Structure 1
Amino acid sequence: MTTPTTAATAPALKQTLGTLQLWGIAVGLVISGEYFGWSYGWASAGTLGFTVTALFIALMYTCFIFSFTELTTAIPQAGGPFAYSKAAFGPGGAYLAGAATLFEFVFAPPAIALAIGAYLNVQFPALDPKLAAVGAYLVFMTLNIVGVQLAASFELLMTVLAIGELLVFMGVVAPGFSIANFVRGGWAGQDRFGAAAIPGMLAAVPFAIWFFLAIEGVAMAAEEAKNPRRSIPIAYVSGILTLVALAIGVMVFAGGAGDWTRLANINDPLPQAMKGIVGADSNWLHMLVWLGLFGLVASFHGIILGYSRQIFALAREGFLPRFLARIHPRFRTPHRAILAGGAVGIAAIFSDGLVRFGGQTLTANIVTLSVFGAITMYIVSMLSLFKLRRTAPGMARPFRTPLYPWLPGFALFAAVVCLVTMVYYNFLIFCVYAALLALGYLVFLLGRGKRAAQAGAETA
């Protein structure tokens, strides 16, 4: 006679991650954003205008992380925002948070993989960037399947190397730094701040978000932490402080190293800034170009870990096909969820340059879709925090949000401002995002009866 599998008897994720590894995941998820992407904000806002935008976003993320940590430690589940919203708002809220998180974590890796491929193509011109990007997926999906302990240790190593490189960059360009270079033309093409600078500052919001996007992915590793109620708050708080310091340092030193307008529309602002100080043949420059891969790899590898746990959690609850929730019998990792997210990413890679929408390639647009997902998830998470404080006051909260309700209130307000701004400047992509959410919700409603029947059979 076969005993039916229930939630209590199902294979579980291994609890192996310590505080330092969680910090490595928190910083590594994000650190590629310090290397590229953010400098496009200078093109629309100028250095000073973008600094204001970036500080606003940094404050939003800081308030958000201090608030989000309360949820993560109170409900340490692999679903992260999905689990918090389910506790606060039921299945409908769980769907919205889970789908938004999937948009963020599934659609960000293809862009990073293509950046890895483009970088390798510079060093090896005969190498097809798309094949290199697919190769990155295969290597790091395999690493994630083999074991979370190995994956997290690798992530920590890549993160430390990437941070070291950013510090080397700041040290090398410091002798050529001039505050006059940084402030020249800093208000969106005008000499001083005025109302005309505000549209450019608002348009730069996505590039400021890129500095910190995906740090909340640590929540998806909560079930695999040895002591989540102690280690996650330390990892989150130290992680956001590390990233804020690096973002300010990189932005200021790059902008003050010479003519910042040369860096505003390129994918490699740090090597180009350093080139102006040490010359094109310097060994320092060659080191930066080669080691720049570490930042991309750290984020790419970490986000694979994040999306796989989100897919696993949604499938375990019946919001996605349940076969995606299977745990590898040997490695105890969600191998099917890892492969499913990778399949979507690889499809996006080969769609790059073939599909255009709103005047941009598909891959350019999926980055924006990822940001839409992130902002939606931030809003739902903060609403969940407020709701659970009211409806579940007795819930165990190992970490309580300081300055409640002001910190989560500001995080919620800032996220709404970002969403409105994103919709205004990316309306067509928002329509696609909203349509996909609505389609997914329809499928969710149609499958509600089947999920209820399955749940009843498991508890019978």
Structure 2
Amino acid sequence: MKPESSSQPIGKIMHQELKQTLGTWQLWGIAVGLVISGEYFGWSYGWASAGTLGFVITAIFIAAMYTTFIFSFTELTTSIPHAGGPFAYARQAFGPTGGYLAGAATLVEFVFAPPAIALAIGAYLHVQFPGLEPKHAAMGAYLVFMALNIVGVQIAAAFELCVTLLAIFELLVFMGVVSPGFRWSNFTTGGWSGANTFSMGSFHGMFAAIPFAIWFFLAIEGVAMAAEEAKNPKRSIPIAYVTGILTLVVLAIGVMVFAGAAGDWTKLSNINDPLPQAMKFIVGEHSGWMHMLVWLGLFGLVASFHGIILGYSRQIFALARAGYLPEWLSKVHPRFKTPHRAILAGGVVGIAAIYSDELIQFGGQTLTANIVTMSVFGAIVMYIISMLSLFKLRRTAPNMERPFRAPLFPFFPAFALVAAVICLATMVYFNFLVAIVFAIFLALGYVYFLMTRSQRDAAPSDALLEE
């Protein structure tokens, strides 16, 4: 059998195009907005495993991994500005099979992250309206923000920037309001996996907490999927990535320390709304500050939810355009020039996940924790493939235009790669059932990949991969 080509015949032209409308500030808003919900919830589950002090060590390690990864990943994003992001880089480096693995992993990350965030939105609204079922509110969030993404990327990006700025402001307000009750002793008591002193068991908790430290930064790489819609991706994307990761590291440290020092942190370690509950320690349940935090806190959740819908839709669009998914998913709305079918398809999966307690709530973890872990599995596999792609392309395509080059090469990408492999091995050990489900998803997708070679052969060529 003739080997499958990693690129299509030049004679075919790409017929599904996205509008180039995004500037540097909008890309920064997407970078931070994609992630900022991770400052509001999810990370506190790591306290249940590692304690506050143990989780600090885990979070520092993960922050170092993300910082080196983003500096390295930016080289790929600016060299190959493509809506498929990691899928495009891996396909360029390793051919169709590499493209499949990276694309499938990214799809799992970006399709499973939104339902976790939507459930947190439901939890926040439930605080204000106890009669409102969180899952119904989560579904309502999907319907609203899928519609907003369909209307147009310019409107969606402007909205993303506004809610991201409001979310950052709200986190600063939270830190200011709880600061009068700041007690370092609150943060350190039982800080080593429920004990006051470090022991060998602390290592167990720190490794188990890795998925929740990753949640602090998960999905920042989604800016890559907006690269085709950037006005000047070779300049604006590096600025957005670097300033974005620095913004998020500072906010993550501040939120975690101020929340843990506000009172009994153990009461915050297994819930979806740790910040409002932390504020209750200081201002009480009926304070206007607390209710303001709940409402403003929605901005952070909405920013990430809205941004990741943009991310998953571009990934589905790019995979469909290249023949890795059914071609009809690559259709662009004739008026709004957005991948409306891809937006709706990801939403159907997310809403199904929200209502799938019996299928997803297993292994002794909550529904949200398992969805978060599934999303993180996809992210880590994609990080590994992306760093391998960087090394491969440096060797096989030395003359490729690289507007931004990874600093301290090969040390930065090597650290990111090794750290990601450690994370993956640890996550498989501590989340074996979720790992099995993730592997089944990849296996089923690979069967589809093998059965649809003719579909990829018939797909239009992608000019961005022919350069």
TM class by shorter chain equals over 0.9
Taking the aligned partners of 1:172 and 1:77, their CA distance within structure 2 comes to 43
Taking the aligned partners of 1:295 and 1:71, their CA distance within structure 2 comes to 28
Taking the aligned partners of 1:43 and 1:181, their CA distance within structure 2 comes to 15
Question: Residues 360 and 371 of structure 2 are in contact (CA less than 8 Å); yes or no, is this contact kept in structure 1?
Answer: no
1:127 aligns with 2:95: no
Give the alignment's TM-score, normalised by structure 1: 0.95
Taking the aligned partners of 1:455 and 1:145, their CA distance within structure 2 comes to 23
Q: Find the counterpart in structure 2 of residue 178 from structure 1.
A: 183
Identify the match of residue 422 of structure 2 among 417, 421, 433.
Answer: 417
Taking the aligned partners of 2:401 and 2:68, their CA distance within structure 1 comes to 21
1:22 aligns with 2:11: no
Residue aligned with 2:355, SS = helix
1:365: Cα distance to partner?
Answer: 2.8
Identify the match of residue 400 of structure 2 among 366, 374, 395.
Answer: 395
1:108: Cα distance to partner?
Answer: 1.1
1:167: Cα distance to partner?
Answer: 0.3
Q: Find the counterpart in structure 1 of residue 275 from structure 2.
A: 270
Q: Find the counterpart in structure 2 of residue 44 from structure 1.
A: 49
1:294 aligns with 2:329: no
AA matched with 1:32: S
Q: Find the counterpart in structure 2 of residue 163 from structure 1.
A: 168
Residue aligned with 1:189, SS = coil
Taking the aligned partners of 1:360 and 1:186, their CA distance within structure 2 comes to 21
Q: Find the counterpart in structure 2 of residue 226 from structure 1.
A: 231
Taking the aligned partners of 2:50 and 2:289, their CA distance within structure 1 comes to 30
Q: Find the counterpart in structure 1 of residue 464 from structure 2.
A: none
**Can you list the C-alpha shifts for 1:88-147, whole angstroms capped at 9, x where unaligned?**
000000000000000000111112112222322332233333322221111111110110
AA matched with 1:170: M
**Can you list the C-alpha shifts for 1:192-219, whole angstroms capped at 9, x where unaligned?**
3232210000001011011011110000
Q: Find the counterpart in structure 1 of residue 386 from structure 2.
A: 381
Taking the aligned partners of 2:178 and 2:305, their CA distance within structure 1 comes to 27
Taking the aligned partners of 2:261 and 2:367, their CA distance within structure 1 comes to 34
1:193 aligns with 2:198: yes
1:337: Cα distance to partner?
Answer: 0.7
Identify the match of residue 435 of structure 1 among 435, 440, 449.
Answer: 440
Q: Find the counterpart in structure 2 of residue 347 from structure 1.
A: 352
* 443-452 or 349-358, which deviates more: 349-358
Q: Find the counterpart in structure 1 of residue 245 from structure 2.
A: 240
Question: Residues 11 and 332 of structure 1 are in contact (CA less than 8 Å); yes or no, is this contact kept in structure 2?
Answer: no
**Can you list the C-alpha shifts for 1:210-243, whole angstroms capped at 9, x where unaligned?**
1011110000000000000000000000000000
* 252-261 or 358-367, which deviates more: 358-367
Q: Find the counterpart in structure 1 of residue 7 from structure 2.
A: none
Query: How big is the alpha-carbon RMSD for the aligned residues of Structure 1 and Structure 2?
Result: 1.8
* 263-272 or 67-76, which deviates more: 263-272
1:53: Cα distance to partner?
Answer: 0.2
Taking the aligned partners of 2:460 and 2:155, their CA distance within structure 1 comes to 34
* 270-279 or 229-238, which deviates more: 270-279
1:261 aligns with 2:288: no
Taking the aligned partners of 2:301 and 2:159, their CA distance within structure 1 comes to 13
Distance change (3 Å), C-alpha of 1:446 and 1:275: same
Q: What pairs with 1:441-456 in structure 2 (closer than 5 Å)? A: 441-453=446-458
Taking the aligned partners of 1:7 and 1:217, their CA distance within structure 2 comes to 28
Number of residue equivalences: 452
Taking the aligned partners of 1:178 and 1:364, their CA distance within structure 2 comes to 29
Q: Find the counterpart in structure 2 of residue 117 from structure 1.
A: 122
* Identical positions, percent: 77
Question: Residues 383 and 417 of structure 2 are in contact (CA less than 8 Å); yes or no, is this contact kept in structure 1?
Answer: yes
* 347-356 or 250-259, which deviates more: 347-356
Distance change (3 Å), C-alpha of 1:171 and 1:438: same
Q: What are structure 2's unaligned runs of at least 5 residues?
A: 1-9, 462-467
Q: Find the counterpart in structure 1 of residue 3 from structure 2.
A: none
Identify the match of residue 210 of structure 1 among 196, 208, 215.
Answer: 215
Question: Residues 33 and 307 of structure 2 are in contact (CA less than 8 Å); yes or no, is this contact kept in structure 1?
Answer: yes
Q: What are structure 1's unaligned runs of at least 5 residues?
A: none
